[in-house]
């Protein structure tokens, strides 16, 4: 009887060890890389600090999201506030990933408002950015934004001075990214800033009724889309990134054709809108 009891306890102990081992295995996700190949990534292996050099190197050579703002401004379309993310939405973002993505969207919206001299909007976005970087814990960014915020308030009636100040603060924040420790946050914000730019540009294209100039420029954004996807691949160990990759893949496919036409624009516009709504909801 005693031997049976000991044997039962031993079997039970082994079962616990096996179950514990199973529970400690890294979670895995399947994604398709930029070449269309299926890869397995572990959800617990993502470490933004270890991957900093890769993330920084890609962003350093990547297209600037501000280029899209310049194009929108040059083709003569008026500022469309309805296409931007309302500043009051910032309060609902809880996780670091959500806050990082929102930070990028607001970054593009700030460039967009600056290009049209909407410094009333710029001021509101600066306040939102300060709150978001404080929640995330980007101490360097907090100091930079607070320093320039005072200058913005003092020059709120001088559009020329404000334009210079905004450019200066954005350049200083960009330098912080290259030297800071929060590469994952900055990479996500870079991704979402470009998604916001593509969203606004494609929505304007819908209103322009087959404007060949806009279609041509949108078709030239293949490298921008590919860069976003490469960053997402590197960060695929973060569970928050997986839904973004899944929505980004068909967008990448739409830009992979030799000639981007109105047909591709019609296909990709709702895809970009769906992704933008996913990261800003």
Angle, vertex CA 88, rays to CA 186 and CA 136, nearest 5: 30
Q: Contact, 200 vs 83, CB < 8 A?
A: yes
Q: What is the pLDDT of residues 200-250, one digit of tens each?
A: 999 998 887 768 888 888 999 999 999 999 999 988 888 889 999 999 999
Three-class SS of residue 43?
Answer: coil
| Mean pLDDT, rounded, of the chain | 79
Rounded Cα distance, 107 and 141, in Å: 13
| Torsion region of 209: left, alpha or beta (phi above 0 gives left; psi -120 to 50 gives alpha) | left
Q: Contact, 65 vs 245, CB < 8 A?
A: no
Burial class (CB in 10 A: 0-12, 13-18, 19+), 267: middle
pLDDT band at 7; cut points 50, 70, 90: very low
β-bridge mates for residue 40, sequence order: 30
Q: Contact, 33 vs 249, CB < 8 A?
A: no
pLDDT at 147: 80
Q: What is the pLDDT of residues 28-51, one digit of tens each?
A: 444 444 444 454 444 334 565 677
pLDDT at 132: 92
**Domain boundary assignment for the chain:** 28-280
Instruction: Count how many Cα atoms sit within 13 Å of the Cα of residue 259 in the half-sphere of its side chain.
Output: 4
- Highest mean pLDDT: which of 19-23, 55-59, 70-74, 199-203? 199-203
Rounded Cα distance, 113 and 264, in Å: 28
Look at the chain and count its residues. 281
Q: Would strands 38-42 and 28-32 be described as parallel, antiparallel, or unpaired? A: antiparallel
**Strand ranges for the chain from DSSP E:** 28-32, 38-42
């Amino acid at each position: 009887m005693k031997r049976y009891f000991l044997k039962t306890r031993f079997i039970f102990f082994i079962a616990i060890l096996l179950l514990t081992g199973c529970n400690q295995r890294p979670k895995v996700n399947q994604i398709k890389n930029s070449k269309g190949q299926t890869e397995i990534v572990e959800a617990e292996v993502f470490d933004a600090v270890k991957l900093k050099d890769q993330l920084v190197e890609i962003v350093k050579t990547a297209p600037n999201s501000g280029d899209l703002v310049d194009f929108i401004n040059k083709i003569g379309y008026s500022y469309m506030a309805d296409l931007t993310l309302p500043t009051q939405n910032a309060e609902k973002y809880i996780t670091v990933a959500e806050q990082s993505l929102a930070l990028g969207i607001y970054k593009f919206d700030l460039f967009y408002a600056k290009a049209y001299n909407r410094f009333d909007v710029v001021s509101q976005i600066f306040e939102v950015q300060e709150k978001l970087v404080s929640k995330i814990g980007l101490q360097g960014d907090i100091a930079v934004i607070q320093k320039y915020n005072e200058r913005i308030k003092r020059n709120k009636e001088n559009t020329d001075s404000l334009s210079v100040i905004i450019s200066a603060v954005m350049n200083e924040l960009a330098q912080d990214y290259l030297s800071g420790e929060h590469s994952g946050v900055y990479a996500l914000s870079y991704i979402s800033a470009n998604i916001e730019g593509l969203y606004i540009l494609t929505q304007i294209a819908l209103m322009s009724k087959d404007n060949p100039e806009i279609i041509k420029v949108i078709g030239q954004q293949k490298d921008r889309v590919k860069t976003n996807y490469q960053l997402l691949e590197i960060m695929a160990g973060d569970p928050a990134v997986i839904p973004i990759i899944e929505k980004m893949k068909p967008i990448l496919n739409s830009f992979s054709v030799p000639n981007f036409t109105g047909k591709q624009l019609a296909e990709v516009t709702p895809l970009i809108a769906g992704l933008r709504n996913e990261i800003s909801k």
